[in-house]
Chain A
Amino acid sequence: MKAIAAFLCGLMLGVGLIVAQMTNPAKVIAFLDVSGHWDPSLALVMGSALLAAFVGFAWVERRGRPMLSGELALPPRWPVDGHLLGGAALFGIGWGIGGFCPGPAIVGTAALSGDAAVFTGAMLVGMFGANRLAAANAAARRTFSREASDAAQ
């Protein structure tokens, strides 16, 4: 059941990206190009997406639990830290260079675009590298706290 719901959700989101033309990086760059001939379309995509998503989040938070799974697993809303801002800055630079963000990159690759596939391949390498780095940091922190507690004894 959970997998079917997730599949349908991914499908609907993908069709939304196609209908909104967000899968075309030229359209995304035209939105980010505020100092040139600006195409405001993506502001409307975001606006209507926010409106629909808002209803869903308000409803589920009122309900307290989702319909198919026992727990609501939502990330913290606070605090803002250096990782968040630094990561978002790197993402923004990459988004501005290529005009692809992760969703359209996957949809474009599935539509057999070579450009989208090259981008997606590099993105997977980047994600894997960041995962490895985070895991190494977590392991280092564990070692450090164990050594600290050994020293305390």
Chain B
Amino acid sequence: MTIDWHAFTPGAALTGGLLIGFAAAFLVLTIGRIAGISGILGNVLPGALAGRPGSGGERGWRIAFLLGLAAAPGLAAVSAVPMPPVESLVDWPWLVAAGLLVGVGTRIGSGCTSGHGVCGLARGSLRSLAATLTFMAFGIATVWLLHHVLQVPA
């Protein structure tokens, strides 16, 4: 392993992380919900199971949250926050496969980076710790396989 010091952006990372964490803290303090994006999105889609606490129904705040998320690039554009480029390293067929896996996986596994990796860990959930270690390990293994073993062109 070599650390790429040129790519390392500690100031931006710490600031962005604080905003993400404050947002999660704000949501649970105001309306008592987990700021987990896959759960919020998955539960506004048709077919979400209603009845379980925190799932199904209650579309209002979920849609408002998603609209806020989608408004972020607009806010960045009118303020001084630079929007980084969206540089994909893989072609569209790979992105379709990736999207399907992320969609199915986050629903079956009850969460993604925000819900398990930030909120779950912050409240000491062992389920979230297990999920976070698992998706990190599989993410690292997949990148190694694609870019170092199979050498998929970037």
Contact = CB atoms under 8 A, between A and B. Distances in A.
B147 A21 contact: no
B21 A92 contact: no
**B-side interface size class:** 35 or more
A39 to B, nearest CB: 4
Nearest to B96: A122
B69 to A, nearest CB: 4
Contacts, number: 518
Contacts of A99: 88-89
B12 A41 contact: yes
Nearest to A107: B72
Nearest to B43: A131
Q: What does DSSP make chain B's interface, helix, strand, loop or mixed?
A: helix
Contacts of B144: 33-35
A18 to B, nearest CB: 5
A36 B73 CA distance: 31
A124 interface: yes
B108 A33 contact: no
Contacts of B70: 10, 14, 106-107, 109-110
Interface in B88-138: 88-90, 92, 94-110, 112-114, 116-128, 130-132, 134-138
Contacts of A22: 16
A85 to B, nearest CB: 5
A17 B22 CA distance: 12
A50 B122 contact: yes
Contact of A67 (B23, B29, B33, B89): B29
Given A3-B63, A36-B148, A39-B8, 10 more contacts: A9-B23, A13-B20, A14-B73, A19-B81, A30-B4, A33-B144, A72-B32, A74-B123, A83-B110, A93-B101
Interface of B: 1-4, 7-10, 12-35, 37-38, 41-42, 45-49, 53-54, 60-76, 81, 83-90, 92, 94-110, 112-114, 116-128, 130-132, 134-144, 146-148
